[in-house]
Structure 1
């Protein structure tokens, strides 16, 4: 056929061989969509691209997010020639195509995970692209039904998690009160070891409930605990019945630590007892002395607090005094930590509901450790890169956690797999008192 076109406006740039300049294409009506300005910058650990839309051109986009292994292809319903001049993150290859119905952006960086979030903003109207260039995810078999993973969760900022996922196995609390060691050395033959609960840094005395093969190693301190038999796990503030046995064999029920009663046994180092009480200091099963309260509890001792001059039975230094306890209902294993992060698929982080007097460690950005499991029964032993417990809770929810409990964090947060520390750690790993060891079934 035969066709013709009006001559180009002489004020426009001349063609470059067979290529028409952008302004000429605009003048010819080649583009069918409005033009948007382009801005860019760093946003957190991501790269942000902003399309400034023409007045009255509200972004019709719903929020979108996605990711690609090594590459991404994105389309924008606007003419955005400014993308041609954007200094993209180092190593990232970007190809921009200006098409009649919009701008096409292809991004490539082999070996990396490219994650994006696209969303509109108003006043003024903008379309925002947040781009994250991330280390690739990792998945390695450990044993039958057990695998090690390094994955990203988005809340919406990316958070890298180091976790062991087990469909079956045998989980056991390991360690010894008063003795510190690296988690891997507490269970040298385990498939994986995660650091456990809290302990007094001066004395290595465990803080909180610890039950080993049905035997109470440490007593509750009023926080959430992991309770389990076999491969069935539960979370709760345990109901714990404690009693003391006096010199003549008589027994009386007592409160324990923060669960106070008329008679209260204290097992956590620190100041115990209140004004108007007396404290029987016990080493082993022998009363060492009786002091007016409050009194400092030394390492390796426990104490019975009672109203002044009103012990549950006659007591004097040298008398035998024993402390017993049991879980109701009984569990073979228990380890207290906290706070609760996720409960029945819902965000549950609220340290005010548990016995955390100093909440500063729970507000600091630091590595976090957690035990979690899915509704289908897959167990997760998790350590995160530095974040807060609340962010970790949301991250675990996005991955499908049904229940989750924070373990000791900061420098104690360690995940060892077959003797190798898998989460990044600055300096020498910190010895701990307790840990959770996963063995083959």
Structure 2
């Protein structure tokens, strides 16, 4: 039985046998095939169309003959002809660039190890079909046949997984060149075994005997191909770099000429088949513990890279032609993945000065916002960033770990959701994105025909002796027995609803609760005139234009100089909040709002480092176990952190949102 026939009858597994089967299957005949021709020349049976699920389809690996550049990856399939492109990904279906999809385009189908696409996909791309009859499918000769058919990728949908570190031992000779992978020539051409001449033992003599010479080793066996040879895989180069606990491994395949590729992904690795390419079989353990296997089939070279689940991306390079496989593996989830300075969102700049790390944001592209978790909850900074459609964020102000409630000012979208201690440094943002730094003391003020009244407290729990305010969230109860609650919509000049007792306030509606006996002048019915203003009571910045604000402290830098004054802000420098620890801040650098992260030190050391880096103004956020600085992207889309230790969830954060993203929910 021939080798290809034997492999075709075996059960497919996630071993090298799968790739040998793919290589052999590419040339097998199709029982339901319709013959194809290109430029009037009848093609081999391997290029024939195939009926799959009632749809006529063609193998993706054959499409470059029709002038179509392809990315033959079942998770990220791409077909490109001129300015028209079709893409397919499982779960997302087909998408089109430069053309319009009308009606449903059938999904690709994998058959016999090859990925197939419907004939209609080629029609949409504009491939010229000259003969379309029951007996023949004829295509025009393409103006250009792609030399490299693997298009660059912007990343597939697979996600990186955690792989424990691997201790690697040097490979043995058997591992380097296992016998099962050696190219085997036909029996008729196999050379006879060569043996060294045997010399009988010589008699004992004080003189040295000449050592008999051994014949030269046999020349390497030439791989046998059943298809035209297009290239040889000359060398394989491997490099490995560790970024914190993220491993980036690169495998470079140097080919003597351009060749097409067929990609297959599986759990724990991927396979690559190179039709018409010759290679010397081998197997080796890479420095990171991955296994790379090369084998020769009658149809080309088969490669399998066992990565343990790391995310791999494949692309080609020209002059000379190379196929590059980059694999990123997150080896230890107990440590946050690091920032990749070469892969930041446009408009974001990273700087590093020793222990100090800075992320600056182009104000023309990003709007800083205060984003809060639901009342009484804490979320990770990445979750807060995602909830606002942002690209980066830093943790916010101080909070009570037992209740997850802020202990100082929080203002979101012009509404004060947590009251101010009226002594701590505050950072605020205008609607245009300008950052404000200072010491405001904001209070709600109610005014009308009765005069004006200042709100005492901002909280949901009522107090019969106080006038309290609360911004409704659609979940939390306000009011109480014997108390009146006035509901006012933001920007309204009258009472929307007046009610007694306890009830749930609608989201983003202001609720003012009071005892009529203590505040007899306040209205008690819907429609009554009532104005609500937020009086910032500040002289150090134009706070009346602020829409978001967050108090934390201390003020680290003002006007480019160290500005720490713990007594003014009521900090106890002997307490834990002032200890040497990891620190975070929000400031400005070169006119750009900037997230700052300090790996370890006191607030004074942090301030000195900021001044040395040219930061003009900065307020410290909650630090220590809360300090988090996050930006999207990173290596293999893992996300990137300036902090080297995981931090606890927080109730609010400052998030940078691209301008043009939908407004607040």
Name the residue aligned to 2:614.
400
In structure 2, what is the Cα distance between the partners aligned to 1:332 and 1:224?
A: 17
1:141·1:147 contact (CA, 8 Å) conserved in 2?
Answer: no
Equivalent runs, 1:29-428 vs 2, <5 Å:
139-152=341-354, 160-168=355-363, 169-176=366-373, 177-188=375-386, 189-222=389-422, 223-229=424-430, 230-243=432-445, 252-254=452-454, 264-265=456-457, 267=459, 278=465, 284-288=477-481, 311-313=518-520, 325-328=533-536, 329-356=544-571, 360-374=575-589, 376-418=590-632, 420-426=639-645, 428=646
How far does residue 421 in structure 1 lie from its aligned partner after superposition? 4.3
Structure 2 unpaired stretches of 5+ = 1-241, 243-338, 470-475, 484-504, 506-510, 523-529, 537-543, 634-638, 660-665
Q: 1:214 to 1:138 in 2, by over 3 A?
A: same
Number of residue pairs matched? 270
TM-score where L is the length of structure 2 = 0.35
1:440 aligns with 2:641: no
Q: Is the 8 A contact 1:206 1:433 kept in 2?
A: yes
Structure 1 pair 288–346 and aligned structure 2 pair: CA distance change class (3 A): farther
Q: CA deviation at 1:399?
A: 0.7
For 1:358 and 1:325, locate their aligned partners in 2 and report how far apart those are by CA, in whole Å.
Answer: 36
Residue 200 of structure 1: how far off its partner (Å): 1.8
For normalisation by structure 1, the TM-score amounts to 0.52
* CA-CA distance at 1:393 after TM superposition: 0.6
RMSD: 4.1
1:10 is aligned to none
Query: Residues 21-60 of structure 1: CA distance to partner in whole angstroms, max 9, x if unpaired?
Result: xxxxxxxxxxxxxxxxxxxxxxxxxxxxxxxxxxxxxxxx
**Distance in 1 separating the partners of 2:566 and 2:532:** 29
The offset of 1:186, in angstroms, is: 1.0
Q: Which of structures 1 and 2 has the larger relative contact order (alpha carbons within 8 angstroms, sep 6+)?
A: 1
Query: Is this contact kept in 2: 1:140–1:148, CA < 8 A?
Result: no
8 Å Cα contact 2:447/2:453 also seen in 1? no
Counterpart CA distance in 2 for 1:149 and 1:164 is: 7
Per-residue CA distance 1:296-339 (angstroms, 9 max, x = gap): xxxx9x99999xx9834389xxxxxx995514413122122111
Conservation of the 8 A alpha-carbon contact between 2:357 and 2:597: yes
From the superposition, tell whether residues 364 and 345 of structure 1 become closer, same or farther in structure 2 (CA, over 3 Å). Answer: same
Per the TM alignment, residue 417 of structure 1 is displaced from its structure 2 partner at its CA by 1.1
